[in-house]
């Protein structure tokens, strides 16, 4: 802890300096064109040695606006320590010239080390929120601030890893021989139906492991641009897989739990992939009984998870039990200007729709910026609701003192 406080004290001026800069959002098209046509390690180095500290500093300044009681939790302090260490290590390259033969290789190895250090940021921060909730309970205003922060914090992390992965995959020895046409983590001709099938197969294995059964999958494609041709898009397959795997996992669990004792077997989960002029959409539909409208928003709330605290041991299913699958998946969709929405009919089932930009030139990173607007969000006091709220119990009009005379 003394080392952390020493680092914090010495680095605060630098954090403040870099946080004055706004992150520079890139589009998928820019990522692709640089990696395919103009891949220059020196150029990438010069960009990242400033952009990575800027993105780290923006989120580190925002962390400090969280309630002190949350910041004091051991897991949150550990995450802060990781971020501080990575920031300090990146500062070592602030003035190092790329012409030095050792600089580029050292920088690449550092990025891999930083990426590995941050592997468990999501579950560790989730553990910190659980620690806070167990000690201090649930406060609606603080919950709103934590929701706002975690959406921005995890989006920043997605972007941070995207930059690191592009550099290490293009200029390192991380290239996946199974995907030789990928430009870093981007597939220029990502076959969406294939990713849907891969995510389904992985979720099916998990479902069969726990329930000894799993619903079948039916896929349809509607290609408005090129009818009868498979739908392809320039995208990051790992991001799409992450979203689809989460949706299939939820649909399968709901379907099996509702129909496992029925006589008609398990109704299939349906996937519909469509490509229009602006949007590429993937809809996952199930007949798992649906979710009440009242609970839909809670499914995206980090503070509402009621599952038992999961194990952080290696090999555990990612995010299992934290209730973070859906909100993190929505952040992946929104990261490149898309979205993820749920439409549910209680008693029937749920439709989950992933919206992505059809054009890579419109798929710009959506990045959080630390500024006065963000600061005010944490400092503004909660105001009284200006809409009526129903009481928990129905009102008994017969007991009203204003009861009409008969």
Residue 30 confidence (pLDDT)? 97
Sequence-ordered alpha helix ranges (H) in 65-218: 68-71, 74-91, 103-117, 121-136, 140-171, 192-211
Residue 306 confidence (pLDDT)? 47
Q: Which of 51, 62, 131, 246 is flagged as catalytic?
A: 246
118 assigned to active site: no
Strand-strand pairing, 349-357 and 217-223: unpaired
194 assigned to active site: no
- The token pair that represents 381 in the structure block: 């006091």
Q: Which of 118, 167, 204, 249 is flagged as catalytic?
A: 249
Q: Which of 118, 182, 242, 270 is flagged as catalytic?
A: 242
DSSP-derived letter for residue 186 is B
Residue 317 confidence (pLDDT)? 47
Q: Which of 204, 250, 259, 365 is flagged as catalytic?
A: 250
- Give the start-end residues of each E strand in 213-304: 217-223, 232-235, 269-275, 279-285
12 assigned to active site: no
Q: For the chain, which ranges sit under pLDDT 70?
A: 1-10, 174-177, 305-322, 391-406
pTM over 0.85: yes
How far lies 18's CA from each of 52, 53, 81, 98, 203, in Å? Answer: 10, 7, 18, 21, 41
179 assigned to active site: no
């Amino acid at each position: 802890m003394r080392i952390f406080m020493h680092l914090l004290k010495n680095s605060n001026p630098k954090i403040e300096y870099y946080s004055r800069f706004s992150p520079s959002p890139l589009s998928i098209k820019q990522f692709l064109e640089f990696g395919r046509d103009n891949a220059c390690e020196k150029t990438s180095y010069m960009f990242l040695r400033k952009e990575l500290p800027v993105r780290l500093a923006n989120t580190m300044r925002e962390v400090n606006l969280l309630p002190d009681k949350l910041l004091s939790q051991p897991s949150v302090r550990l995450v802060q320590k990781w971020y501080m260490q990575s920031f300090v290590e990146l500062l070592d390259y602030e003035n190092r010239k790329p012409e030095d033969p050792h600089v580029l290789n050292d920088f690449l190895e550092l990025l891999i080390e930083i990426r590995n250090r941050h592997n468990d940021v999501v579950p560790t921060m989730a553990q910190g929120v659980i620690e806070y909730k167990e000690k201090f309970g649930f406060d609606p205003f603080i919950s709103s601030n934590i929701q706002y922060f975690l959406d921005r914090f995890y989006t920043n992390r997605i972007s941070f890893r995207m930059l690191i992965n592009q550099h290490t995959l293009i200029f390192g020895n991380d290239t996946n021989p199974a995907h030789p046409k990928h430009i870093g983590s981007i597939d220029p001709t990502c076959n969406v139906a294939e990713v849907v099938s891969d995510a389904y197969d992985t979720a099916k294995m998990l479902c069969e492991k726990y329930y000894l059964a799993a619903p079948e999958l039916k896929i349809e494609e509607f290609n408005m641009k090129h009818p009868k041709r498979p739908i392809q898009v320039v995208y990051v397959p790992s991001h799409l897989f992450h979203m689809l795997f989460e949706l299939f996992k939820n649909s399968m669990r709901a379907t099996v739990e509702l129909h496992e004792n029925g006589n008609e077997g398990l109704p299939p989960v349906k996937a519909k992939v469509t490509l229009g002029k602006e949007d590429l959409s993937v809809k996952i539909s199930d007949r798992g009984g649906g979710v009440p409208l009242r609970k839909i928003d809670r499914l995206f709330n980090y503070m509402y998870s009621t599952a038992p605290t999961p194990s952080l041991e290696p090999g555990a299913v990612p995010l299992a039990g934290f209730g973070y699958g859906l909100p993190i998946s929505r952040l992946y969709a929104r990261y490149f200007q898309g979205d993820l929405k749920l439409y549910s009919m209680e008693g029937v089932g749920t439709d989950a729709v992933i919206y992505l930009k059809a054009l890579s030139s419109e798929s710009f990173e959506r990045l959080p910026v630390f500024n006065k607007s963000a600061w005010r969000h944490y400092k503004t006091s909660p105001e009284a609701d200006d809409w009526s709220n129903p009481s928990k119990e129905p009102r008994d009009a017969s007991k009203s003192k204003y009861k009409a005379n008969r």
